[in-house]
Structure 1
């Protein structure tokens, strides 16, 4: 299910979002993810936004497949990086044993809580055996809109671990922290790196 209000925010602020996350070097989480991928591995960048991560993934010698529900973000990604980003939602992922890694960095937090088990199961199916899965989520409880109108599902760390295990993943590492995003608020988050079991 796609939340129209969330997509409208990204449509209006695609350029601002890209500027905010336009690091010229991959961050520590992306480096850790790429460090465990096989040489030349294929990576689904799920909710790629302006595809900054995909550009870093490609530069490191991997094969990114950037996907985002926002046509404006996809257009910006392709204009900036000529990277073959495509428009699609979480429900459009239908691959089987195709990817060596899936990078879902603060994208699945826009999915309703009730849909998370289904999306994680689909991602598990899309990964090759022992495939790598990175997920970033904001921590907390419930579902709400942020100050600029985006829909969020907040999770507890143990809850995310349980969701991952139930989908067939083995959690490898977990990192908690706080950070500012497009809304400008300093929010707690969790990042988990897992492998397909």
Structure 2
């Protein structure tokens, strides 16, 4: 069940910050080789298995796409990708910047997609705004729309130590949560998505927040 109050608050906060956010992050991948490497691994994994297990790719959803810069990067990498975001202002900026790509307003907890129709899902620093009690339901929604063998790539900030499953942190735009990678991987496993790989980036001296950043790649069971 989606907490509509939390979703509305996040939507309104990103609407208000959309232009500043887009300017700040538009070129962020250029200086993030590890992020690009994990997106490349995701692209290759998706390209190996399409909808219904057929080879050759299939559709990919960038959930929480923001102003669309990562969606565009995936499209340039050869994926058939579209973006979804709860913020109408973000979607408007994405459509303006990349008119040849598909972007739509929506909620990752209630996707307007048929079962098993996606080869891949990217949720990069977007699941962090979902209250932890609701995350299992969102992961079940991801599982529903992924084809057997489809891949999910999550991006999030790690908690301080595995004994703390989640922690609230002072996100600049909207309330957000850090996750223990092991705890989130266990939730994925319970949902029917097995961890394939993870990349953990240590905080850098220039980072505003001294958190580990995690990319977690999982695959939906074929059964």
TM-score over 0.5 (shorter chain)? yes
CA drift of 1:178 comes to 4.4
Structure 2: 5+ residue stretches without partners: 48-55
Match of 2:15?
A: 11
Kept in 2: contact 1:173–1:192 (CA 8 A): yes
Task: Provide the C-alpha distance between the structure 2 equivalents of 1:105 and 1:147, rounded to a whole number of angstroms.
Answer: 15
Give SS of 2:197's match.
Answer: strand
Task: Provide the C-alpha distance between the structure 2 equivalents of 1:50 and 1:186, rounded to a whole number of angstroms.
Answer: 25
Match of 1:150?
A: 174
Kept in 2: contact 1:124–1:196 (CA 8 A): yes
CA drift of 1:16 comes to 2.2
CA drift of 1:40 comes to 4.5
Task: Provide the C-alpha distance between the structure 2 equivalents of 1:46 and 1:54, rounded to a whole number of angstroms.
Answer: 9
Moved more, 96-105 or 29-38: 29-38
Structure 1: 5+ residue stretches without partners: none
Match of 2:102 among 79, 84, 87: 84
Give SS of 2:12's match.
Answer: helix
Give SS of 1:133's match.
Answer: strand
TM-score, normalised with respect to structure 2: 0.79
Match of 2:128?
A: 109
Kept in 1: contact 2:57–2:119 (CA 8 A): no
Assess, with a 3 A threshold, how the Cα gap between structure 1 residues 16 and 186 changes in structure 2: closer, same or farther: farther
TM-score, normalised with respect to structure 1: 0.89
Give SS of 1:136's match.
Answer: strand
Considering only CA atoms, is the larger Rg found in Structure 1 or Structure 2? 2
Task: Provide the C-alpha distance between the structure 2 equivalents of 1:58 and 1:115, rounded to a whole number of angstroms.
Answer: 30
Give SS of 1:49's match.
Answer: coil
* Alpha-carbon displacement from aligned partner over 1:93-149 (angstroms, at most 9, x marks no partner): 143111000011111111011111111111011111100110112212445351535
Task: Provide the C-alpha distance between the structure 2 equivalents of 1:57 and 1:149, rounded to a whole number of angstroms.
Answer: 25
Kept in 1: contact 2:17–2:173 (CA 8 A): no
What's the RMSD between the two structures over aligned residues? Answer: 2.2
Match of 1:185?
A: 209
Task: Provide the C-alpha distance between the structure 1 equivalents of 2:20 and 2:36, rounded to a whole number of angstroms.
Answer: 19
Higher strand share: 1
Match of 1:28?
A: 37
Count the aligned residue pairs: 195
Assess, with a 3 A threshold, how the Cα gap between structure 1 residues 36 and 147 changes in structure 2: closer, same or farther: closer
